[in-house]
Structure 1
Amino acid sequence: MRLILLKKNSRTASTVLNPISNMINMKWELRGAEFLSVKKSVIMVANHQSSLDILGMFAIWHTMGKVTVIAKREILYSGPFGLAAWLCGLVFINKKDVTESRELMRVAMEKLKRENIKLWVFPEGTRRNTGEIHEFKKGAFHLAIQTNTPIMPIVYSSYQTFLNDKEKVFNPGEVIIEALPEISTENYTTENVDELMEKTRKMMDITFHKNSLEIKNRQRQRKV
């Protein structure tokens, strides 16, 4: 039932909430749309800098097609937002129980693959706006190997040109979101999951710094 509701409800949510970006002067530039629009299941891993990342997701949702997100179980009990998240097909996990979470994600991924639904994960776990991509947790990569699902890296450029959490600064922002070519998991096992994880993070790190520098240079040119 929830998989049937997923496509309609998540698209409705993105349509309703996407105008918020215009209201707060956020501009999202998508690159790699040809990778993002693939009509099959992939595990999308994205860097996590701020709750603004969700607005970026909504901005590109129409290109992604059918997609759901990993969320902590506590969100399910957060009133109307929890209900909306459930209707949109989010996969809820108990982060305090790693074994339970991995098994739940494996079962969920098998269902998503039958419906060609993508899964979005923030492998850093905690959002941090530091100008770097931090170490990844292994959960998404174990899942990709167990279910033979490709990894698709998604990279947001740095928010530091417009957002400073400590100083409470939030200016109009410009962000590049780039989807990279998928990474096959066929030649990986749980024994070399670290290799897959680091390969993904390094690819994302190169793109992150390249696109972040481009945004900085654009801003400098505008000031000249």
Structure 2
Amino acid sequence: MKLVFLILNGMLSTLDTWSWPFALLVVSILILLVPAVSSSAKVRYYSCYICYVFYVSLMGVLLAPYFLLKARDITNLLLAGKILKNLTKFIGIKWTVRNEQILSKDRGAVITANHQSILDVLGMFNIWELMGMCTAVAKKEILYVPPFGIVAWLAGLVYIDRRNPESAIQTLKHYSRLIHELKAKLWLFPEGTRNKTGQQLLPYKRGAFRMAIDAQAPIIPVVFSPYYFINGRNKTFDRGEIIISVLEEIPTVGLKPEDSNDLMKQVYELMSKEYEKLKIEVEEKYQLKI
């Protein structure tokens, strides 16, 4: 670990003799290596998140010119996923997908997933090729986080104003056309915010279910198992496995807007049951209590 910082310090002190592209490459490699070589749990904890933010931001900036050529084209996100999924190798997360054939089917759909960590996005990157044409829905505030926000917008990410439910519904209705026009999948986190405790799923918001009914599109529930190897209180970030369990799609053909609450409850119950199963599986496999 000390060696990494010594190299960085020496390189920066003589930067006038370096070319900036080469210096950036060396700095990037060193930052990505920190999680692998660190012997300190706390250093590894912070460096994994720094590595994540740095890598996503750097790749976003490098990809921005290409995204500008195809601004708002959601195929940009497919390319981003192919590149950004490689970060997994550096921070030590293994993603195991179950029932992937449900996701890979060539048809439009609304994907609902539980939300525990910013690392859920890394899980999405690892299965983006599997999903094919897909975009995600995020809160508007992320748009103002440089450089990720604007680059993600150029790549085709959809932003909604969570503080204005009616505006959010109208935005979702507008983009639901992608489901039929492009056979695209729209990924939403119906909890609306990160679930930091991981004990049970947070209550769902109706937007995803209203949109699915309006578009008469099936819902595909996706459940991430608990991040048992990360502890924010103790500042530990070990290597570990996250199971991404894809459940059978739920049809919405024939449903009306007034059915959205019942649909939301149905999906919530199915995903909660699967999350509990995954939690028990993880506890038994790794001999721990979540």
TM-score by length of 1: 0.91
Q: Which residue of 2 aligns with 1:143?
A: 211
Instruction: Give unmatched runs, 5+ long, in structure 1.
Output: none
For the residue of structure 1 that corresponds to 2:245, the secondary structure is strand
Counterparts of 1:107-186 in structure 2, within 5 Å, are 107-130=174-197, 131-159=199-227, 161-186=228-253
Instruction: Verify: 1:194 aligned to 2:261, yes or no.
Output: yes
Output the amino acid matched with 2:261: D
Once residues 111 and 210 of structure 1 are traced to their aligned partners in structure 2, the CA distance between those partners, rounded to angstroms, is 33
For the residue of structure 1 that corresponds to 2:106, the secondary structure is coil
Q: Which residue of 1 aligns with 2:59?
A: none
TM-score by length of 2: 0.71
- The structure 1 residue matched to 2:169, chosen from 83, 102, 105, is 102
Once residues 106 and 114 of structure 1 are traced to their aligned partners in structure 2, the CA distance between those partners, rounded to angstroms, is 13
1:68 Cα deviation after fit: 0.2
Higher relative contact order (CA 8 A, sep 6+): 1
1:185-208 superposed Cα distances (whole Å, 9 cap, x missing partner): 124322222111111011111111
Once residues 6 and 203 of structure 1 are traced to their aligned partners in structure 2, the CA distance between those partners, rounded to angstroms, is 29
| C-alpha contact (below 8 Å) 2:204/2:268 kept by paired residues | yes
1:110-153 superposed Cα distances (whole Å, 9 cap, x missing partner): 13421111000000011113221121011111111112111110
| C-alpha contact (below 8 Å) 1:153/1:179 kept by paired residues | yes
Percent identity of equivalent pairs:
37
| C-alpha contact (below 8 Å) 1:174/1:215 kept by paired residues | no
1:93 Cα deviation after fit: 1.2
Once residues 107 and 17 of structure 1 are traced to their aligned partners in structure 2, the CA distance between those partners, rounded to angstroms, is 28
Higher helix share: 2
The CA RMSD over aligned residues, in Å, is 1.7
Instruction: Report which stretch shifted further, 184-193 or 128-137.
Output: 184-193
| C-alpha contact (below 8 Å) 1:29/1:175 kept by paired residues | yes
1:65-107 superposed Cα distances (whole Å, 9 cap, x missing partner): 1110001223223332123201221111111211111111101
Q: Give the total of aligned pairs.
A: 218
For the residue of structure 2 that corresponds to 1:35, the secondary structure is helix
Q: Which residue of 1 aligns with 2:25?
A: none
The structure with the larger Rg is 2
Q: Which residue of 2 aligns with 1:206?
A: 273
| C-alpha contact (below 8 Å) 2:113/2:188 kept by paired residues | yes
Output the amino acid matched with 1:129: K
Output the amino acid matched with 2:205: K
| C-alpha contact (below 8 Å) 2:104/2:132 kept by paired residues | yes
Q: Which residue of 1 aligns with 2:137?
A: 70
| C-alpha contact (below 8 Å) 2:137/2:159 kept by paired residues | yes
Once residues 195 and 164 of structure 1 are traced to their aligned partners in structure 2, the CA distance between those partners, rounded to angstroms, is 35
Once residues 154 and 285 of structure 2 are traced to their aligned partners in structure 1, the CA distance between those partners, rounded to angstroms, is 40
Once residues 145 and 121 of structure 1 are traced to their aligned partners in structure 2, the CA distance between those partners, rounded to angstroms, is 14
Q: Which residue of 1 aligns with 2:16?
A: none
For the residue of structure 2 that corresponds to 1:18, the secondary structure is helix
Q: Which residue of 1 aligns with 2:101?
A: 34
| C-alpha contact (below 8 Å) 2:229/2:236 kept by paired residues | yes
Structure 1 77/112 Cα, relative in aligned 2: closer, same or farther at 3 Å?
farther
1:218 Cα deviation after fit: 2.0
| C-alpha contact (below 8 Å) 2:191/2:205 kept by paired residues | yes
